[in-house]
Amino acid sequence: MERITIAIDGHSSCGKSTLAKALAKTLGYVYVDSGAMYRAVTLYFIQNEVDIKDAEAVKLALLDIDITFKNIAGKNTTFLNNTNVEDKIRSMEVSEFVSPVATISIVRTKVVKEQRDLGKEKGIVMDGRDIGTVVFKDAELKIFLTASPDIRTQRRYDELIAKGQKVTMKEVKDNLLRRDHIDSTRADSPLKKAADAIEIDNSNLTEANQLEKALALVKAKTLQL
Ligand code: DC
């Protein structure tokens, strides 16, 4: 079967990464979490007290940032300058700051270039906000995943609690809605559904149902090629 590029976009905590990982595993494709790259840049800015309003400081910092992924015990793991930052980039502190960082055009230029390099060989599933509209405009399959804000809040809350973080449902919901707003209204590459994306609302779908739907779409696309 011909290997294709699969773009999965959607709002925060809509289940993109769960579906993307399952698809990549089933198809034997590479999975790339594009949000993790913005989160790693954000963590670097926090750790090094980079003032995001200072364009020169941001430019210099970006030269010092190297983001890689490794498979550790079967888990896709993010490294920032050779340090495992997978847990740190998922903290509320990073979540609070990541959307403003992701509005900065020179940050996006660097990250998008790296994302395109990772996708050169096809056989990739990448999830994010602008994968179908900017990063891989020519992706053979684009999925736009949606779920209600309450369901997304509950999922994110459960995830953070399971990791031992102390958060309230209200904090999680406020953060999600604030990020949705910033991500959808920014000037550079706002979150939006690509004209040729197929929308799946997973509010009432199990992970297995979603995977089944997505695999049927992959099959239909690859048969057309
Ligand atoms: O998918 P996530 O929640 O881990 O993404 C974190 C943030 O990164 C999100 O609030 C917006 C930004 N992002 C982006 O601007 N473009 C992407 N392709 C992926 C994420």
Per-residue model confidence as pLDDT tens digits over 24-35: 999 999 999 999
How large a percentage of the chain has pLDDT more than 70?
100
Which residues on adjacent β-strands are paired with residue 72?
A: 75
Range of the domain at 171: 5-219
Which of 6, 21, 98, 192 is the best mutation target for the ligand 1 pocket, counting ligand atoms within 8 Å of the beta carbon and taking the most?
98
DSSP string, 55-81: HHHHHHHHHT--EEEEEETTEEEEEET
- Residue 224 has what pLDDT? 85
For residue 163, being part of any structural domain is answered with yes
Domain membership of residue 225 (yes or no) is no
Residue 134 lies in a domain: yes
Please report whether residue 126 resides in a domain: yes
Q: Which atom of ligand 1 is nearest to the CA of 102?
A: 15
d(CA 38, CA 54): 18
pLDDT digits (tens, 9 = 90+) for 1-19: 789 999 999 999 999 999 9
The whole-chain average pLDDT of the chain stands at: 96
**How far, in Å, from the CA of 102 to the mean position of ligand 1?**
7
**Does residue 99 line the site of ligand 1, with CB under 6 A?**
yes
Rounded to whole angstroms, how far apart are CA atoms 156 and 128?
16
Share of residues in the chain with pLDDT > 90 (%): 95
CA 225 to ligand 1 centroid distance, Å: 31
Whether 224 is in a domain gets the answer no
Distance of alpha carbon 48 from alpha carbon 210, whole angstroms? 40
Count of domains for the chain: 1
Cβ–ligand 1 distance for 10 under 6 Å, the answer: no
What's the CATH number where 12 sits?
3.40.50.300
- Cα 192 to chain center, whole Å? 14
Q: Is 41 in the pocket of ligand 1 (CB under 6 A)?
A: no
Q: Is 179 in the pocket of ligand 1 (CB under 6 A)?
A: yes
**Separate counts of helices (H) and strands (E) for the chain:** 8, 8
The verdict on residue 62 lying in a domain is yes
